Amino acid sequence: MVTSRAFPDQQALLELANRYPEFDLASVETCLAFLDTTADVYEALDAHFARYGLSMGKFTLLMQLLQAPEQGLTPSDFAERAGVTRATITGLLDGLEREGWVRRQPYPSDRRMVSVQLTDKGQQLLSQMLPDHFCRTTGLMANLTATEKKTLIQLLAKVRTGTPAMREP
């Protein structure tokens, strides 16, 4: 039995199972446990990134720049890699640029485009926070054995293959 934020009462789940023949209690409980855990992880990550004046989105862009070629990345590159719109990227880049962590400049081969690069200040931020970030990530997964971590990755990949069931009309 799973206690969930969405359905804290086991009796409510059982009533739904009796009312709807399509209701699979084990699937619903598993999904709710996954969603609750995801919410807890996101909440913890938000608190962690806030210590550094970042959001998960901003951190993701900084990490992409850390691994980027010397000429940087275009906003389209970020959008494609992150699977979000260019408008979302523009808002994140505006905040990173205000903090002095990134800079935009004309793209070397096409001045109609902009290239985004990590500044020295952005590099310093990552150098300061990444050791802490990696320690906290290790702590998040500390209760899993190496085998369990591999199994979790495999199970999550299987869950991901089921996502079309929620998208399809």
Q: Dump pLDDT digits (tens) for 58-99.
A: 999 999 999 988 888 999 999 999 888 989 999 999 999 999
- State which fold the 54-161 domain adopts: Arc Repressor Mutant, subunit A (1.10.10)
Could you give the angle at the alpha carbon of 47 between the alpha carbons of 142 and 51, nearest 5°? Answer: 105
In tens, the pLDDT along 94-113 reads: 999 999 999 999 877 777 88
**What are the structural domain ranges in the chain?**
7-50, 54-161
Given a contact cutoff of 8 angstroms between Cβ atoms, the answer to whether 79 and 88 are in contact is yes
Residue 38 CA to residue 71 CA, distance in Å, equals 35
pLDDT more than 90, % of the chain: 70
Q: Which helix (H) or strand (E) holds 9?
A: none
Rounded to two decimals, what is the model's pTM?
0.84
